[in-house]
Structure 1
Amino acid sequence: MKRRIAGILACALVLLADQLSKALALGPLDLQNGAVVKAGPMLNLVLVWNHGITFGMFAGAGGRFVFATVASLAVLALLAWMWRAQSWVVTIAVGAIAGGAVGNVIDRVRFGAVVDFLQAHFGALYYPWVFNVGDSAIVCGVLVLMLENLLARPPVAQDSGER
């Protein structure tokens, strides 16, 4: 039960951080479309409205409620996975992924697009996409799941005694 609560808490914390950061970007920070604000040595703030899905794919396809519905179904599947997970790592990673996805669904329903505003760079090398806190949680959660799967020890075969 504690593991499930941790997954729900991860989901809620990611969702809260995502929505608060977007409220700051749209409110007090007053980011303007395309204007670059230097936020640190490796981070810029750049408001972009993502009308597509991951990395802006299918942006011209429209269907804000279609995207929101498909994403909502994916969130339900993630929550079912999280509920049945046997590992703390999987539970928390899937919870974080679900929280990021819910944040993006909220944006789609409210604004018709996802609010993206973070741009990472290292000197003159720029990450080619602008993203948000929820996107970061989704990517990090997926990476954790991949690493957990790659590093997991295979189950030890039990000798049934039959010969």
Structure 2
Amino acid sequence: MRGLWIAAVAAFGVDQLSKLIVVFGLNLKEVLILPVLPPFLVFRMGWNEGINFGLFSGAGARWGLVALAVGISILLWRWARGFDRPVARVAAGLVIGGALANALDRVLYGAVADFLNMSCCGIRNPFAFNLADVFIFAGAAGLVIWGETEKKKTP
């Protein structure tokens, strides 16, 4: 279980540190756009009150989404206790750390701070995301690949 906790704390910490540096340290919350390597990487401030692409935003969603993130994290932690593969536990930790980092944003700011915007090859991406979203996606992919779905048969 150590891998799960290390991955969760690392994902949570890296995400929150990146937000402190970019959103507050570079004052992105006021300047709104900072070209880094345009168009491949632009810091573009966005406050997401919902889930992906702003779905389920609106009155009352904030605390429901915080509760949902905490509840899913607890269920995922309980599920991961039975994993044999350390990489599956790390994947679960990435999801948990990312989910709790975004939940903390909702508690502190009322919305999730998104700032990464990437475009390529003539396709302009209007959406922003954050490192917690990257960790959640990577962890979910890892759970699909390495997560264990069958109960072990006892002899």
TM range (shorter): 0.7 to 0.9
Counterpart for residue 11 of structure 2: 14
TM-score by length of 2: 0.86
- CA separation in 1, counterparts of 2:29 and 2:66? 25
Counterpart for residue 25 of structure 1: 22
| TM alignment of 1:128-147, pairs within 5 A | 128-147=126-145
| Distance verdict in 2 for CA 1:23–1:64, change over 3 Å | same
Q: Quick one: which amino acid aligns to residue 36 of structure 1?
A: I
Structure of larger gyration radius: 1
C-alpha contact 1:101 1:138 (8 A) present in aligned 2 = yes
C-alpha contact 2:49 2:61 (8 A) present in aligned 1 = no
Question: Helix, strand or coil: the match of 2:45?
Answer: strand
- CA separation in 2, counterparts of 1:34 and 1:101? 27
Structure 1 segments unaligned to the other structure (5+ residues): 155-163
Question: Helix, strand or coil: the match of 2:113?
Answer: strand
Give the CA deviation at 1:89: 1.7
Q: % of aligned pairs identical?
A: 32
- Please, what is the CA RMSD of the aligned residues? 2.2
Counterpart for residue 110 of structure 1: 108
Q: Quick one: which amino acid aligns to residue 63 of structure 2?
A: F
Q: Quick one: which amino acid aligns to residue 74 of structure 1?
A: I
Q: Quick one: which amino acid aligns to residue 58 of structure 1?
A: F
Counterpart for residue 153 of structure 2: none
C-alpha contact 2:23 2:115 (8 A) present in aligned 1 = no
